[in-house]
Amino acid sequence: MTGRIADTIHGKVNGVERGVEPGVEQSGVVSFRGIPYAASPVGGLRFAPPQPHPGWAGVREATRPGPAVPQAASRLERVMGPRVPDWNEDGCLTVNVHTPRPAFEGGPPRPVLIWWHGGGFTSGSGGWDWYDGARLAELGDLVVVTANYRVGPLGYLYLPEIGAANLGAQDQAAVLQWVQDNIASFGGDPRTVTVGGQSAGAFSALSLALDPHTAGLVTRVLLESGPFGLPPQDPGDAAETAAAYLRLLDIPADANALRALPVEQLLSAYGRLARPGQVAPPMYPVLGGPGMPRAWPQALADGALEGKALLMGTTRDEATAFFAFDPNVQGLTTARALDLLTGQLGERAHDVYRQHAARLPHATPAQVFTAIQTDELFRTDTLRIADHHAAGANTAYVYQFDYQPAEDEHALGATHCGELPFLFNAYDAYPNSPMLGVPTAADRVLGRTFATAVAEFVTTGSVRDWLPYAPATDTRIRHFG
């Protein structure tokens, strides 16, 4: 491995040339991992907006990812596979940059993809091998940036009186600015930046593209499995959740009291706020807070996304990831399913249930409920966004990812997160993952096809052999799998 030096506004960093296939040493990609983009959010900076990093003297090693943001285990571990905890509050706000070697050596600057991990605004890390961008960078001849942002109570506790409001979204905006200030040193083009992500990461990417404070830094938008049926949190509801959280901690709404507690105690109390059978996390972006001045329907109506090419899609069976292992859902009767849906959908609940039950005549109430959640939380509003964008003569592409493992003992189908190993060619990072199973050679070809399409979109704003979406035209939805 050969070291490579790049300059950032905070100091020099030393990356490494990498082989992009396991066990193969080659010089196709230069990776820089664990680069701080903001000061550590510890001490007086816990529950505060991101602050500039003080910088460093000499050359900082950037050969390993930084620690994850403090978090509990993901609720999707039984679907994706477990992670060994690797978090540390100190030093967690970092970026990882993967760039093709010719771009780093002085070739033309490459388009940039900033990728946001999912995890329900509660877990995840841009440094995990699930999102290693090296193979995608080489495949598409583009620069891939992944990053950490604060999640759970550290990122989304809503106490504006102490300065805590959408801190995770503020971290993301700081990453976007870091890319503008630094990416040219890594061979990237700051004028051609796609923001993308999956699940909560897609929610975040769309927010960055719509927010007037960051929209001018975004060229294209990539949205995978965005939960756009989940509106941003109402400030009143967020304040009530914050009050309940403080009661669990038995402290007042005081910054010093919150900063004095061990982070493990903060995470434990947050875990007790979780609501069984709910996809929405206890804390997530709040309407009117930083990064979320308007909900996306209003922002689209205001023309905030005009002129930006868009690629978006879902998996076929998104919601199985959340409910296949939930006994509260698997034991549903029709009456109880209708009760839950009435609380969610109001007067529409009975009609929606009947429509889905007719489409799935042999399904159990749990399966009907889960299919409804796939549509209500993911698919319907994905198409609504695409319809609006395409109707305005903007470039839009829509896909559905249909891969499901050959051995599918939990009946996950093509579930939430299922496309991630294929996008990043990261199959080995998901050992014993029920959503992936054992992909065949043909499945890996599917992955290359999907990743190539995404890369073409990032680099050119279009995709060969893929007709752009037209409003309400299912035949323009490309199926993978």
Backbone angles phi, psi at 13, to 5 degrees: -130, 150
- Cα torsion angle, 339, 344, 347, 353, sign: negative
* Of 31, 199, 204, 207, catalytic: 199
* Of 53, 89, 416, 419, catalytic: 416
419 is annotated as an active-site residue:
no
Task: Tell me the C-alpha distance between 295 and 328, whole Å.
Answer: 31
Is 75:45 a contact under the CB 8 Å cutoff?
no
Task: Tell me the C-alpha distance between 305 and 392, whole Å.
Answer: 10
409 is annotated as an active-site residue:
no
318 is annotated as an active-site residue:
yes
Distance from the Cα of residue 424 to its chain's centroid: 14
Q: In terms of Cα–Cα distance, which of 48, 324, 343 is closest to 166? A: 48
Is 410:262 a contact under the CB 8 Å cutoff?
no
* Of 89, 318, 376, 419, catalytic: 318
Task: Tell me the C-alpha distance between 263 and 269, whole Å.
Answer: 10
Task: Tell me the C-alpha distance between 40 and 215, whole Å.
Answer: 26
Q: Which residue has the tokens 């006994």?
A: 327
What angle separates helix 365-373 from helix 334-345, to the nearest 10 degrees? Answer: 20
**What residues form DSSP beta bridges with 145?**
97, 114
Structure tokens at 359: 């489409």
Task: Tell me the C-alpha distance between 263 and 441, whole Å.
Answer: 44
Task: Tell me the C-alpha distance between 133 and 32, whole Å.
Answer: 11
Give the active site residues.
199, 318, 416
